Amino acid sequence: MDTSSPASPARRDVLRGAALGTTALAATAAGAAGTPDTAALRAAVKADHDVNIKRLQDWIALPTIAAEGRNIDQGVAHMTQLARDAGFQTVETIKPAKGIPAVFATMDNGAKKTLGLYFMYDVKQFDPAEWSSPPLEGRIVDRAGMGKVLIGRGATNQKGPESMMLAALHAFKKTGRKPPVNLVLIAEGEEEIGSPNFAEIVRTPKVLAALKKCSGVIIPFPSQAPGNGNVSVNLGAKGVIELELVASGEKWGRGPAKDLHSSNKAIVDSPAWHLVEALATLVTPDGNTPAIDGWFEHVLPLTPREKALIADSAAKRDQAREMAQMGVKKFVGDMTWQETLERLAAMPTINIEGLVAGYTGPGGKTVLPARAVAKIDMRLVPAQTKDDCVAKLKAHLAKRGFGDIEVNVSGGYDPTQTDENSALIKAELATCARAGIQTTVYPRLAGSWPGYVFTSAPVSQPAGQFGFGHGSGAHAPDEYLLIESSNPKVLGYDDAVMGYVDFLHQIAATG
C-alpha cells in the first residue's frame, strides 16, 4: 500500500512544471517542433476537466463486448463521433469480410511527421455482482494512498487512456491550434477476442497507405507505477491465442450423447475426464511450462542486451509492491527478482481461463456430462507465430489420442518487437525525462496488443505503448483509472493529458 502523504499545492505545481514541459529543455525541444503556447493548452485542459471526465464516463456507460455481440452498432457510432469531435477531418468505418467494423480517421495538420494511434473501443465482459461500484457508472471514489480513482469497465483498458489522448486533441482544438504532427487513427472493436480481423482492416489499401506515412504507432497506456511513478518502456509485447478445447461424447465416440445420471460412470466414459487428461499433457506437472511437442522450436532466447535491460529494471522496480498489487505471495520457482522478470519476458505460456462441464449451480447434481470445455489463452514470444502454434497444438493432441477434441480458435496474433533505437522509443524516453520520470526499458510487455500488424510487413513501423498516469484491474472487477493523485510522483488525469501534448511535440522534434 502506498503510504505517501498528499502533495502540497506548491509541490504539485513543481511536479506539473517538470511534467508538462515548462523546463528550459522542454522549451528548446518545443521550439524545434513549432510548439504553440503550452500554458494555453494546460489552461484548456484544466477548464475542461469535468467535460473530459464526463466524456469518459459516457463511453464507459456504453460497453461494446465483441464476445457477446453487445452494442456493436452503437459502439461503432460512438467511436466515430468521438473521432469527429476531437478534430479528425476524415472519419469512416472499415468493414472486414466478417466481424466487427473498425473506425479509420485522419487529421492533416500540415506537419512534416505523422503519428499513428491505435484505439480499441471494445471491453471485456463483467459481472456487476463482483464490483464494489457499478461497472458502467464510472463512479469516482477515494482510494487510500492514491487519491481519487474512476471505477468502471474500460477505465484503464483502454477507454481511460484513450480519452486522455482525445482530451489533448480537444485542448488543441479549443485553443485554435493544430497539433504538431499529423494523425492516423485506427480503432477496432474486436481486440478483446484476439483481433481476428484486424490484419485485414489494416491492410485495406487506404488504411495501409496512411499508416505507411507514420513515424510510428502508439496505443495510449497509463504506464506509471503506483508507488514511485516510474515508467517501464516496453520494446514489444507477447502475442496471444484465444481458443476453446471441447471434448464431447459425440466427437469422441465414447461417453454419453447427452448428460447421464452419474451412477452410469461405472460403465460409461467421461468426456470431462478425457479433457482433463488432454490438458495435463500440454504443460509440465506443475502447470508452469508448456510441454507441447516442438513448442520451443522457434523461441528466441534473451539477448545479452535484453538481459542487461531486465537487470536494470529489476534494480528499479519494487518487487514487494508488485506482488502485493497482484495479490500473490510467491512467484514460480521462488527465483530471484531478476530471474522472475527474465522469465516474465522470455517464457511463452499456456493458461486455463475457465473450465465448464455439466452442472455448476448451487448444491450438487449427479450427472455425467456429455460435453466439457476448457477456455485457453496462450502467450507467444519471438519468433513464435499464431498459425504455427495452433498447428503444433493440434498435432500434439492427435499424437496422444486426443484428436477428437475440438480446437476452436476465436482470435489471436503474433508477438511484436520494436528497436530501442527507433525514433518512437527515443521520443517516449525523452518525454519521460523532461517530466522527471524515471524509466526502465523492458524487452516486452507480458500482456498483448495487436502491434504486430504495425511492426511487420507491409506496414513495418515501430509501435509501442505510451502514456502517464496510473490505472489497474484490466479484465477484473473494480478496474480503475487515477483521476486526482495524492502521490506527487504519479500524475493525475489532467497532467497525464498534458503528457500526451508534450509527447506529440517530442515526436515532431525527434529525428
Strands 260-261 and 236-237: unpaired
Domain residue limits, the chain = 23-238+416-509, 239-299+348-413
Which pLDDT value is given to residue 30? 36
Which pLDDT value is given to residue 362? 93
Q: Give me the helices (H) in 9-48, please.
A: 9-19, 24-33, 38-47
Give strand pairing partners of 464.
Answer: 218
Instruction: Give pLDDT tens digits for 54-100.
Output: 999 999 999 999 999 999 999 999 999 999 999 999 999 999 999 99
For the chain, give the mean pLDDT.
Answer: 92
Write down the CATH number for the domain with range 239-299+348-413: 3.30.70.360
Which pLDDT value is given to residue 34? 41
With cut-offs at 50, 70 and 90, classify the pLDDT of residue 38. Answer: confident
From the options 2.170.150.70, 3.40.50.10300, 3.40.630.10, 3.30.565.10, give the CATH code of 23-238+416-509.
3.40.630.10
Residue 121 has pLDDT above 80, yes or no: yes
CA distance 201 to 102: 7
Share of the chain above pLDDT 70, in %: 93
**Mean pLDDT for the stretch of residues 316-329:** 91
**Mean pLDDT for the stretch of residues 427-456:** 95
- pTM beyond 0.85: yes
What separation in angstroms does the CA of 21 have from each of 115, 215, 354? 20, 22, 46
- Domains 23-238+416-509 and 239-299+348-413 in one fold: no
Residue 31 has pLDDT above 80, yes or no: no
With cut-offs at 50, 70 and 90, classify the pLDDT of residue 325. Answer: confident
Which pLDDT value is given to residue 37? 66
| DSSP one-letter string for 263-307 | GGGGTS--HHHHHHHHHHTSB-TTS-SB-STTTTTTPPPPPHHHH
Instruction: Give pLDDT tens digits for 464-490.
Output: 999 999 999 999 999 999 999 999 999
Instruction: Give pLDDT tens digits for 279-313.
Output: 999 999 999 999 999 999 999 999 999 999 999 99
Instruction: Give pLDDT tens digits for 211-236.
Output: 999 999 999 999 999 989 999 999 99
With cut-offs at 50, 70 and 90, classify the pLDDT of residue 13. Answer: very low
Which pLDDT value is given to residue 386? 97
Residue 324 has pLDDT above 60, yes or no: yes
Instruction: Give pLDDT tens digits for 17-30.
Output: 434 433 333 333 33
